[in-house]
A = this chain, B = another copy of it.
Amino acid sequence: MNVYTTKTDMRNRISSLIREGKSIGFVPTMGFLHEGHLSLVEHARKENEIVVMSIFVNPAQFGPTEDFDTYPRDFERDAKMAETAGVDIIFHPSAEEMYPFDGGIQIIAGNQSKALCGASRPGHFDGVLKVIAKLFHIVSPSRAYFGMKDAQQLAIVETFVRDYDFPVEIRRVPIVREGDGVAKSSRNVRLTDLERQEAPIIYQALSKGMEEYLTTQDVQKTIHVVAAKIEENSSGKIDYVSLLDYPSLQPANEDTEQVLLATAVYFEKVRLIDNIIMSTKKG
């Protein structure tokens, strides 16, 4: 496995791979890898000759009051896990390497960014799109792998790739969960022991909510069921519970084929997100 820390070294290697006609599967991450990331790698390995992983905690997607400084980092551990999982190349630049200039040109996410996490994280998805554009240009992947846990990010990245004609195929990878149903996340390590015991209620509540929706088609009642179950059974505070058309992230309507039921819950030191995406087509 090779590790590159400069854009020039990474790009030179990519140019060679392109000349050799290799397919490149790309797994962008912020590091502190868990089985969710390894699942992305596994999918990428199956479909590509070369797997590139980026490990970069992207300052552009953190707000001024968010957890950029305390976001967990452990490159040595990540590199071992990535190598074991079959990653061929890690791209691990510094913030200075990624953002040496600012000529003031911005990418602004649209209405999709105003729902769900975007409502409480202004500018977050602008920063995501900025780094994704740069990474796609540096890595020139054939396919890029995104987890469905960040359903809003996935929907926005798919829209970006479609509307700006990036020559890359976006592949959706299902959420990986712990045995008790908690969605894998780098941030889970910052739950207290008690919070960790409470956390399975999130997925249980979403499952109950989806059952409610598929039975009643009642959006408000569904949201109430999910929020009440989480608040009554944990110390978590609801940031949002939303049920939306996927991937437009607009209110579900009679043409909706897939619904996203998503929540974000604040615990003492960490905010967790989870979701279920379900087909609403009549069989």
Contact = CB atoms under 8 A, between A and B. Distances in A.
A164 B101 CA distance: 10
A159 B102 CA distance: 9
Interface of A: 7, 11, 18-19, 21, 101-112, 129-130, 133-134, 137-138, 140, 156, 159-160, 162-167
Contacts of A18: 18
A105 B249 CA distance: 14
Contacts of A11: 167
Contact of A164 (B21, B137, B156, B160): B137
B167 A138 contact: yes
B134 A105 contact: no
Contacts of A109: 104-105
A112 B106 contact: no
A129 B105 contact: yes
A110 B162 CA distance: 24
Nearest to A129: B105
A137 B165 contact: yes
Contacts of A137: 164-167
A152 to B, nearest CB: 13
Contact of A110 (B21, B106, B111): B106
Instruction: Name the residue among A137, A162, A166 with the largest chain B CB count within 10 angstroms.
Output: A137
A55 B166 CA distance: 20
Contact of A134 (B21, B129, B165): B165
Contacts of A106: 107-108, 110
A103 B130 CA distance: 16
Interface centre among A19, A104, A133 (most CB of B within 10 A): A104
A160 B102 CA distance: 10
A105 B166 contact: no
A6 to B, nearest CB: 12
A111 B106 CA distance: 11
Contact of A105 (B101, B107, B138): B107
Given A18-B18, A19-B21, A21-B19, A105 B165 contact: no
Nearest to A114: B104
A180 to B, nearest CB: 36
A105 B160 contact: yes
B107 A103 contact: no
